Structure 1
Amino acid sequence: MGMAEAREGVLDDETVVSRLKAELPEWRLEDGWIRRTYKTASWKGTLMVINTVGHLAEAAWHHPDLTASYAWVEVRLMNHAAKGITEKDFSLARKIEEVVGWQPGLEGGGLEGTPTDARFAYIKYDK
């Protein structure tokens, strides 16, 4: 694929900001990347988020940049080949949001979720 073909799918900043607001309100556009910081309860939670994002990204053949500390992970997405934000970034961001933000205890059924005891907490949910 040539450079012109790769750039065709790049979304302009106004479109990205509008779509983030409508589809992924916890994400933001900054310095050419769409970004999201996940707060965790500990290093264990941080590693779980990193591994989850890594699995999803590898399966999608799209590779984010990650920055992590003891109790947070920042995910940055930009289509490196296209040199900008594309539909691929939005697709992966939605999947990451769905999986990392999943709260099994809220949906009922056999998967009850982690106990409320802080010893078992690993992610700090937005809602």
Structure 2
Amino acid sequence: MAGSKATIPEDEVKRRLAAELPKWRIEEGWIRRTYKTQSWKSTLMVINTIGHLAEAAWHHPDITASYAWVEVRLMSHDAKGITERDFELAKKIESVVQWKPSEDDALEGTPQGDQRFAYVKYD
């Protein structure tokens, strides 16, 4: 079903979001997610991450941002609705933006408790 432009009915979108992307919602014909960040620096890092993933996928979301949050909105303009492409990119964005090392990982992760290093507010 790669590259499918078939739209997904809203009731199916809602069901799939609840099962596959519970932090995402459908509103005004878009699937949306707001990521909370700690500062403008981390907001820009999230925007750039989403931008890289979108460009690599050749599927471009709308993004709105402020000092401590980023909202990403996905809808397939050419299909005039939500398609499988939107779900696939949303899953990739979610997995990358919410990724952090586990306690068993050799990677340490962003230092906690020091505002100089504050980053994404993980869910």
TM-score normalized with structure 2 length:
0.93
Q: What CA RMSD, in Å, does the superposition of the two structures yield over aligned residues?
A: 1.5
Aligned: 1:121 with 2:121: no
1:111 is matched with 107
Structure 1: which 5+ runs fail to align? 1-5
Greater per-residue helix proportion: 1
1:35-85 CA deviation, whole Å, 9 max, x = no partner?
000000000010000000000000000000000000000000001111100
Task: State the SS of the aligned residue for 2:63.
Answer: strand
Structure 2: which 5+ runs fail to align? none
2:77 is matched with 80
1:59 is matched with 56
The number of residue pairs the alignment matches comes to 120
The match for 1:29 among 26, 29, 32 is 26
Structure 2 vs 1, CA of residues 125 and 15 (structure 1 numbering), >3 Å: closer, same or farther? Answer: same
Offset at 1:111?
Answer: 1.2
